[in-house]
Structure 1
Amino acid sequence: MTDRYLKSLFMVLLGLMALFYVGHNIINLSIAHQNIGYVLSQKDHAIYPANIMPAVGDGPAWIVLAVIFVSEIAAGVVCLWGGWKLWSGRSDTAAYASALNTAKIGCGLVIFTWFGLFNVFGGAAYNMWQTQIGHGSMSDAFTFAAFGFFVLIYLGQREAEA
């Protein structure tokens, strides 16, 4: 039963993490937009000044920011829902198995957001690592993605027989 408690707790923590981050982004909307616009503009890319991705302006930055917000909100809500379902179904094998699927989807959304959007697109496609702002965001995104991977792996582990 300890694993079931911990899995529920870790899902709630992942969900809160995602919602705290999107909350901070929303209350600092203009700064979040400036940062995304800066990364997409490819300004100050001195190490690799040429890029296979086109530099884009203000309009696309709003679209990218909206995608990030939707992804962070979805990750947070599904992780919290998965954590609640794990907790509620901890004594019922069928309900718990269903809850594990929801929790895994939540982890997948965390990984999609912070690995996929920030590391694959921001880091690899837009070379955001070349600037201080981009490097900080990418490093933190790696950490958040790792948490999603760690919890996903833990969710897939067999639980001790009672």
Structure 2
Amino acid sequence: MPAPPSPFDGVLWRRIAAWVVDAALLLVLSWLIWGGAALAAVPTLGLLGGLLLLPWALLLPILYGTLSIGSTLSATPGQALLGLTVRSEADGAPPSLGQALTATVLHALSWAAGGLPLLAPLFSTRRRTLHDLFSGTLVLRVDALARSIPARPDHHDGSLA
């Protein structure tokens, strides 16, 4: 019988596909926010027009990533759809809100740096990006995580695989 797949098998292509899903969701959310801000400005005679000036292109992805990774889902909607989860490297637990914020901000900065830091998973056996390394997180397959959960709740060795 073949060995079960590693928690990191197929993670790279899944991360790329998850990013596409999340980018599409963010695009729709951006349209909704801008449209809502424009609609709010009309009846208030422009008093709420300042909402249109907020840097939604920067704030929305950071809120989206931080709140979804820091939630009980422990993944962005795209990651969850593609069977991925984010875990703390230290203990395999869901990441803290601080780790989620750090990972999300560093991910945004990676794009601002021309995307070059996003090539790190090509050279990592665990397919980690630099924002994973600096935030102390791992992205792995949910099905592999389910295999690593001990059968008895009183016996836990803390391993991820």
Task: Give the structure-2-normalised TM-score.
Answer: 0.31
Q: Which has the higher helix share?
A: 1
Q: Which has the higher strand share?
A: 2
Task: Give the structure-1-normalised TM-score.
Answer: 0.30
Q: Which has the higher contact order (CA 8 A, sep 6+)?
A: 1
